[in-house]
Structure 1
């Protein structure tokens, strides 16, 4: 008669005496024919990548998809730049000289009215607005130096001087505004404001000195921009 222990041990004993082939089949290595393959891209993927689907004749331009014409303002496409590039390659001096004159006219349209204004915040803002155009003219002149030589180098140097003088004037304006706010805060806190007043006066004198230097620097830049060498 089987005891409880025999009934519990019998399944494990039968498993040890059972042949290996009957318990499980030996591990078989996969062959090349039974290898699983990943699904390839469908025709939609080929169209997105700019490639031809499998089965068609290859082409050297199959992987290159031409980009659409870049859109300008209001979604209107730009005109082709190929004629402009061809003209710049054949006559770089003429094309770059025209570009410099265009940047100068932009600058003159901002700087000249600023000189006619009375001293004050509006004049300071106008000079700062003109300074942005001075930077454009300077960088354009520096880019045109290989083609135009000395005239472009001279114009870039004169524009840099105008940029530095107008930048120093704008820094003084911003500093005066900050000093004035600090003086008001100090007065509200019961602190003496004499030191802030001295700093405000010094920055005002610095701004006035830069404004007196600006017309002379602008006159030199204007003469360099009107050079005959840039009009050829």
Structure 2
């Protein structure tokens, strides 16, 4: 989990209507930025983050199914520029054997709020030679999604993808995978998470990771195609 988390912007989604609610901070800096936007009457859509879920979008349909709810709240942990800055800095400093700390993006929870039930998304980098990119989940199933790969179980999805960065980040990006990590605490205690449910989780993780690759400007556009999830046999 990213210890550099700065603040949260809470957006309430009910049915197909999205409205700005309020900003709450844990550090003064980001709080001032977000609250200034809200106080000035800036529409939520213009506050630049990677978490907006459009009405009738594939993300909305997947979230409704995963959260088992008609409405959901959105917790925004970082604005887009903060995500990009963190990931670029981490790629410059990445070592040869350990993944970087993840940068938190968003979490979605059903309304009304129900304990720890969430779908939460983070991103980071992992060296291609690292064991952190190898299958390691208990009861996890491996998958391919248009060349992206990873594994998913009832609670977690890890997706790895090649992201060819421009400029001075071109060389380090050739030796690393961009990873997206999703946790689905909404599934804790459930026993009905079948392959179709895991595939929905993977598809949503893919779509959230696409937002990161677009923000970073990955020159190979690795997640441009619609998500097609193919479960793979155990090694």
User: Which has the larger share of helix?
Assistant: 1
Query: Based on CA coordinates, which of the two structures has the bigger radius of gyration?
Result: 1
Q: TM-score per shorter chain, which class? A: under 0.3
**TM-score where L is the length of structure 1:** 0.22
* Greater fraction of residues in strand: 2
